[in-house]
A and B are shown apart, each in its own frame.
Chain A
Amino acid sequence: ETGVTQTPRHLVMGMTNKKSLKCEQHLGHNAMYWYKQSAKKPLELMFVYSLEERVENNSVPSRFSPECPNSSHLFLHLHTLQPEDSALYLCASSQDWQGGPGANVLTFGAGSRLTVL
């Protein structure tokens, strides 16, 4: 669809579960992002990885744990979540901002809709 694939598309979990969201990009980008989209709120940047190194961590609770094993894959590990964590979690990728005309453009996946019961 957009070169950025997110799985699963929908996830329902209890507060004591552990689950993971997966993101894969096929665009050769070297930066990847997790955003949270909640109803009636702006997109919230959670984490940024550039060249597999975490460069941004926006005061996200420790119950969210990112992992970037290589430049094509990004995970968000979830544990002991709260109902207010229910949201659409969007993964995005970009060419590093120093990287030419395609730089700075975020390409988003379709999102993983998370419901915490």
Chain B
Amino acid sequence: AQSVAQPEDQVKVAEGNPLTVKCTYSVSGNPYLFWYVQYPNRGLQFLLKYITGDNLVKGSYGFEAEFNKSQTSFHLKKPSALVSDSALYFCAVRDDNYGQNFVFGPGTRLSVLP
């Protein structure tokens, strides 16, 4: 079965500092990995994905993530955080052995302090 862990419920960083939101996963087949962001009273918005190829994936709003197969991780990063990045971030995985079942992590609340 597939699963996703986001070990931190909350991450706080100062504006202008780099941020990292952690994600680890477990799948039996090849992983398709995703990051989504949710602002208050909104649905989830796609940020970036890893399917195959380059381990460093760049996405929307200056975010990037690095796929690390040996550590089964897909951490989200941004070199310089903005207050407007404050939101709930979800990591998700789809196992290519399991059809269209996208499994989401519990979410990490990012707070960027001015």
Contact = CB atoms under 8 A, between A and B. Distances in A.
A106 B46 contact: yes
Interface stretch (B10-18, B36-44, B74-82): B36-44
A108 B101 contact: no
Interface residues of B, number: 24
A104 B49 contact: yes
A45 B101 contact: yes
Contacts, number: 66
A42 B105 contact: yes
> Could you say which interface size class chain A belongs to?
20 to 34
Contacts of A111: 41-43
Contacts of B101: 45, 48, 56, 58
A104 B42 contact: no
Interface of A: 2, 4, 6, 31, 33, 35, 40-43, 45, 48, 50, 55-56, 58, 90, 92, 94, 96-97, 104-111
